[in-house]
Each structure stands twice: as structure tokens, then as C-alpha cells.
Chain A
Amino acid sequence: DTEVTQTPKHLVMGMTNKKSLKCEQHMGHRAMYWYKQKAKKPPELMFVYSYEKLSINESVPSRFSPECPNSSLLNLHLHALQPEDSALYLCASSQAVTADTQYFGPGTRLTVL
């Protein structure tokens, strides 16, 4: 089973809203990632968690707040977003943060009004 699930599939929010994106995997992977992808662009790394600890924050604005409650779950809390934050948000996981294949979830299509 190489499945990573993400909810919701689509999200529309206003600039004053607070919402959360959720990601789950049951493959025993110890590394989890958040990527942001704009149309016709490659995925851009936002955060990396290794063994439930934040390893990389790619200078992401504080209106994005990641959380890793346990080894299977990864959240991304959103607050006071801007319209330019509208994108496809992808979660991925891998066995470890070394040269292992990352498996992507289906993504959450976020629109900020």
C-alpha cells in the first residue's frame, strides 16, 4: 500500500478564515513533506518533518503553520492567507529523509478569496 490521503480535496476560504489541511499515511514512513504547486509549475518544498520533528522550513510565511501530531499524521494550519496563496497543496511521505522515494497524496486545491 503506497497511499497517502489528504483532506479536504477542495477548500475555498476568505482571507480572515482559519482552516486546516490534513494528511495521513499508514506506510510506516518517518518523513513527511508539504509542497505548494502553482499551475504549470513544479512542486515547491515548504516543510519537512523527520520523526515528527520539523527538519526544514523553507522560509514559509508564518500564516502557514505545520503540525505533526504523530508519525502518521501531518497538518497544515492556515490563517490570514492571501489570494496568491491559492494553489495545489501536496503532502508526501517517504521511508526516511534520505534518498527514498516520496509518495504524494492527491492534494488539496485551495482557493483564497
Chain B
Amino acid sequence: GQNIDQPTEMTATEGAIVQINCTYQTSGFNGLFWYQQHAGEAPTFLSYNVLDGLEEKGRFSSFLSRSKGYSYLLLKELQMKDSASYLCAVRNTGGFKTIFGAGTRLFVKA
């Protein structure tokens, strides 16, 4: 079967660092994506990992371990506008289908 697990909700303080974890079991693996989605809006692309290791892009970093079926998204210097849902998505072998996790709702408080 195919399964992507993320925490349902997280709360963090403005200016802090937060790590959102994602574990996956899919039929083949051809890349892992993180998207940000504000309520009622479309998902926007944050990061892409296909090889093991850390990818850094400004305040956002994403890590992948293929052997463990594990990824995390790290958000630094949190801002109020970072309050959103964060979706972990895995592209399966063959590349036609991307499976989305249920998303982690992040609340950033002052």
C-alpha cells in the first residue's frame, strides 16, 4: 500500500525554529516534495528532494533519508505568515502520480 504520515497540527512561536516530519511507504520512489498551502488557496512549491541529504533554500530546509522513508521540513525564524498547512508529497516510480500526505497545520503565535 501507499501511506504518508505527518503530524496533524503543530504550534510554534514567532522567531523560533520548527521541524515538520514526514514518513512514507510508497510503491517506488521518484522524489519528495514539500508544499505550503494557506487556507482556501492553492499549494505552493517549497522544496524537492530526490537524493539523501539536506536541501537549503532561505529560511526553509528539507531533508531526505530514502533508506528510512523519512523527510523533514525545517522552518527557521518563523513569521506569522508561515501559519499554513504543509503538505509532504511523494512521486512514485514512473512519475505519473504524486501522493499527498494529509498535511500538517502549523500555527505560529506571537
Contact = CB atoms under 8 A, between A and B. Distances in A.
A90 interface: yes
Interface in A34-49: 40-45, 48
A96 B61 CA distance: 25
Interface string A83-106: 000001010000011111111111
A98 B98 contact: no
B33 A104 contact: no
In this complex, the interface size class of chain B, counting residues with CB under 8 Å from chain A, is: 20 to 34
B29 to A, nearest CB: 10
A40 B85 CA distance: 9
Contacts of B7: none
Given A42-B87, A42-B103, A98 B45 contact: no
B43 A104 contact: yes
Interface of B: 30-31, 33, 35, 40-45, 48, 50, 87, 91, 95-98, 100-103
